[in-house]
Amino acid sequence: MTESLVRGTINFRDIGGLPAAEHETRYGVLFRSGNLATVTHEGEADLASLRLKRILDLRDDEEVHHQPSRPGDVPIQRVPLFVGSVASFFSENLGLADMYRTLVDDSADRVLEVVRGVLADQPVLVHCTVGKDRTGVTVALTLAAAGVDERAIVADYARTEALLPAERNRAVIDLVRRVHPEAKNIEELATQSPAGVMQGLLADLTRRFGSPTDYLRANGLSDDEIAGLSEVLINRGSRITL
């Protein structure tokens, strides 16, 4: 299944309906996706119907230059992650676990900026190039701070792999192989989102900080902000019957 909520995009979806204890996340509040460079005319109408108040674009300057967004009238907040380091993951044969550890260790201030951007305005969209890694990590940590169940966070992250079009995957793999012929983890880095990788990241943050939320707290997120995330993202009037 590769259907996208906004036509012309990939991996565009609503984060509503995820369990959070006996409640669930609100629909129409937080969205995640790949880039908006190829939004179709019909997709522009789809995007407008979401009434977004903010878009958090996690791509670097070169990515934005080559694939500029088509956001309509929605304000864009740029929060570049992995600046200058993406190629190193291929050339040094690092995997997704290494990538995510680098992100949370080296870009904690920017991770926090994304989380605060979600809190500042809703509905809000978080996106990078395909909505897999930078988006996957920052959305996962945002959901964790709001109180979403860890299994649901991991499942939402893992869902991306099934939403990436096969033709896109083949083209990206071929391109990277030409540029980095010695790279060993191309398919994992470019096309996969294994549940175990996200489970490992959350476990690592728990081991080092106490919990993923405590990682955010250690880097400056206040208890009031954590409570605010729960308030805006969790529908307290919705109860899940087990």
Report the CATH number that the domain containing residue 24 is assigned in CATH. Answer: 3.90.190.10
Answer yes or no: is 34 within a domain. yes
Say what the pLDDT of residue 237 is. Answer: 78
In this prediction, what percent of the chain has a pLDDT beyond 90? 78
Structure-token match 């996962």, residue found:
140
Residue 127 has pLDDT above 50, yes or no: yes
Q: What is the pLDDT of residues 14-61, one digit of tens each?
A: 999 999 999 999 999 999 999 999 999 999 999 999 999 999 999 999
Say if residue 72's pLDDT is above 90: no
User: For the residues 77-90, what does the mean pLDDT come to?
Assistant: 76
Q: Which domain does 129 fall in, by range? A: 13-230
Largest CA distance in the chain: 53
- Is 59 inside any structural domain? yes
* 62 located within any domain: yes
Strands 234-235 and 54-57: what pairing? unpaired
Residue 140 has pLDDT above 50, yes or no: yes
Query: Average pLDDT in the 76-101 region?
Result: 81
- Does residue 240 lie in a domain region? no
68 located within any domain: yes
Which pLDDT score, from 0 to 100, does residue 1 have?
45
For all residues of the chain together, what is the average pLDDT? 92
Give the residue-averaged pLDDT of 205-231.
98
Quick one: average pLDDT of 169-183?
Answer: 84
Number of domains the chain is built from? 1
Q: Is residue 29 part of a domain?
A: yes
pLDDT, position 85? 59
Domain-embedded: residue 204:
yes
For a pLDDT cut of 70, what percent of the chain falls above it?
93
**For the whole model, what pTM was predicted?**
0.93
- Lowest mean pLDDT, pick from 63-77, 84-98, 225-239: 84-98
Per-residue tokens: 127: 């996106």
pLDDT at residue 240 in the model: 47
Nearest alpha carbon to residue 137 among 124, 125, 118, 154: 154
Q: Could you give the CA distance from residue 11 to residue 213 in angstroms, rounded to a whole number?
A: 26
* pLDDT value of residue 242: 41
Which amino acid, residue 181?
P
Whether 51 is covered by a domain: the verdict is yes
